Amino acid sequence: MPVRQDDYQAIRAVVENWAVWRDAGDWDRFATVWHSKGFMSATWFRGTADEFIAASRAGFDKGVRILHFLGGTSVDVRDERAIAQTKMTITQRDLVHDVEVDVVCTGRFYDFLAVEDGSWRIVRRQPIYEQDRLDVLDPSADLTLDADELASYPVGYRHLAYLQRQIGFDVKQDLPGLTGAAVECLYREGAAWLHGSEKPGIPA
């Protein structure tokens, strides 16, 4: 069934506002994109929307910079539920072995949405991590990664995991990538959500 343009535009606005308001530290408006039962999963976090807002704010105040850039969005709608997939990049700048780097991870935001109080809101957000890379900011700097540690992380976000472990995050190892059991499970949960399942799957 074709998606109504007004639903598509409203859902795309929610996705865009999430990225702009979070990266800008606009926490009051950031809270408005979330459903009252909102849940967020990421490499470094798993918990309710309220907990995610608090953790993001605390990190922002300490100088942690995790930025987001969005590409195209695909939306499926059934009644007052939707699944949105949005191409994105996550960029984090920090020190790895005392060398300043940028890690850029490419993937998709996979969002479970529902209408609440007349507006589309995110019930669950699960990033899909497709591939990443690490760039040294100073070309003259000497940086050697621990090859065994790097290889121990999932291929879609191994450089991001390496950086985040270096700065003290507890990085999750079971998140969906471009292919594999985790992302296939996510797709099944999305289909079930559109057909009326009680919960938006089991967050990874």
Task: Note the pLDDT tens digit of each residue in 125-136.
Answer: 999 999 999 999
Residues 6+ apart with CB under 8 A from 156: 105, 107, 128, 129, 130, 131, 132, 175, 177, 178
Domains in the chain (CATH in brackets) are 5-194 (3.10.450.50)
Sign of dihedral through CA atoms 150, 152, 155, 158?
negative
Q: Are 147 and 153 in contact (CB under 8 A)?
A: no
Task: Note the pLDDT tens digit of each residue in 16-52.
Answer: 999 999 999 999 999 999 999 999 999 999 999 999 9
Q: Are 8 and 82 in contact (CB under 8 A)?
A: no
Task: Note the pLDDT tens digit of each residue in 53-80.
Answer: 999 999 999 999 999 999 999 999 999 9
What is the number of H-type helices and E-type strands within the chain? 6, 6
